[in-house]
Chain A
């Protein structure tokens, strides 16, 4: 763990930093308001100009401001989903790996079932149950199967950790199972989980964008996926390609950042992997 992060990983970290900054402050920095009060305040479909860098949309709402509000939705969504998935996955994975037996069988069979079909199907089925899903519904849908990967990694780690001498020693001096898990097992599996969480950031934003693109995303908030879908509908009119490119590049930015940082963190964790990815 002493090796330094690669330059590419630092670039990824910087790019992720920009995203987090925009997610936190984007709505405050946005040059124009969005939402109901902004509708039809400006002419529709203005071309990009000094006043409106990315032009305006079919409702006359400034596209750059939408993009910045979209950053807030994307950040909220990815942080909540990634943290919840990691928490649920690690908890279940540690319990399964530590106690083995029936609990292990039960958890791993659920994991098998959820991994046995394309995840987006379940997301679609959950979101489709309501007519106008909000951000909360989409978050719930993404958590429903997002924890699985974390549970697998955590369980795999625990299976080897539980046989280590220091865990045996803790057990020998009478430490409770809860204490052993919390103090000796969990801290030692956080590193691979962190790597997975980094990759998760990119993945979650892509899935949300897919759902929005399919018309099943959060209907009450501005998201990049919804902007992409809007752009697709406008595409056949000349001069409107930036409605697809701007949100698309915003998504690509985050996914690229997450992958570059994730690769770097994984290499640092496991030097054998270096240069192979």
Chain B
């Protein structure tokens, strides 16, 4: 498939997905009983004030009109307005734009931690297959998969902030304060990638071209670094890219554990306030990032490996 057609198809599918997500979230938020007006207008609001809030959120209109309003907000880039006083408050998009960079930064740092730890672990395990190093690597990666992120974050804080006092605690920002959240969010992916790196390396190490490389007298380091790694790491990097979306959902948990600003914390706050426009906006932005990253990874993979491009 030519790259243009591929891109069009993926973008189309991505748009359909996002429309689907919006519709699903809209349905769940609006069709199930429970009145967001109670929360936004306050318990002692007069019927007049309540009516104002309901009108502002279009809750007095039929569902399809409400969904239309939401799509209007998507189209004009504001993602809607916050009620009850849309003029005095920033648009939903402005609120998200304020915190979203923190989340992206966290996800990127987590991805960095995962790659930096996973690649050596997986490569070592594959080269020293069957030795205690291999066992150690597989125990490490299995533990990384099993230990819940919800435990990892608080435990890291307990040790490195409370007990040892080496690193900053919750609510703080700055490069040093990023270390613990990045480890918390990256460990799970690290474990997955280490397993993948190992299996991918084991497969490549058995290939004929490596035997040829060794037979012509190349030093072992060159054989591993130049011939094996290049072939083994391509699928690993792709999976890492595709997992970027899961880093975003991991960021929601980590932001709560470390009380860091971000789209996850904003989503949770808006849910607690029943502030539906913001909830919908957050979900849409996260879904859109996920779709976009996946398309970019697919494209990059196709460019890097001609065998895929032709397929």
Q: Please list the residues of chain A having a beta carbon within 8 angstroms of any beta carbon in chain B.
A: 109-110, 112-114, 116-122, 124-126, 128-131, 202, 206, 209-210, 213-216, 225, 228-229, 231-232, 235-236, 238, 241, 244-245, 247-249, 251-253, 255-256, 259-260, 275-277
Contacts and interface: CB of A to CB of B under 8 A. Distances in A.
Interface string B239-259: 000000110110011001100
Nearest to A123: B249
A213 B24 contact: no
Contact of A130 (B32, B148, B294): B32
Interface in B202-252: 202-203, 245-246, 248-249, 252
A117 B158 contact: no
Contacts of A247: 151
Nearest to B150: A213
A252 B145 CA distance: 8
A202 B146 contact: yes
B29 interface: yes
A131 B34 CA distance: 8
Interface in B1-57: 13-14, 16-18, 20-21, 24-25, 28-29, 32, 34
B241 to A, nearest CB: 15
B158 A235 contact: yes
A210 B185 CA distance: 13
23 contacts: A109-B16, A113-B21, A117-B245, A117-B290, A118-B246, A120-B249, A121-B25, A124-B252, A128-B29, A131-B34, A202-B146, A209-B150, A213-B150, A213-B253, A214-B268, A216-B271, A228-B150, A231-B154, A232-B150, A235-B157, A235-B162, A241-B155, A255-B146
Contacts of A215: 268, 272
A244 B155 contact: yes
A113 B16 contact: yes
A98 B252 CA distance: 39
A235 B271 contact: no
B83 interface: no
Contacts of A245: 151, 155
A116 B150 contact: no
A177 B25 CA distance: 36
A116 B246 contact: no
A125 B148 contact: no
A124 B271 contact: yes
Contacts of B162: 235-236, 238
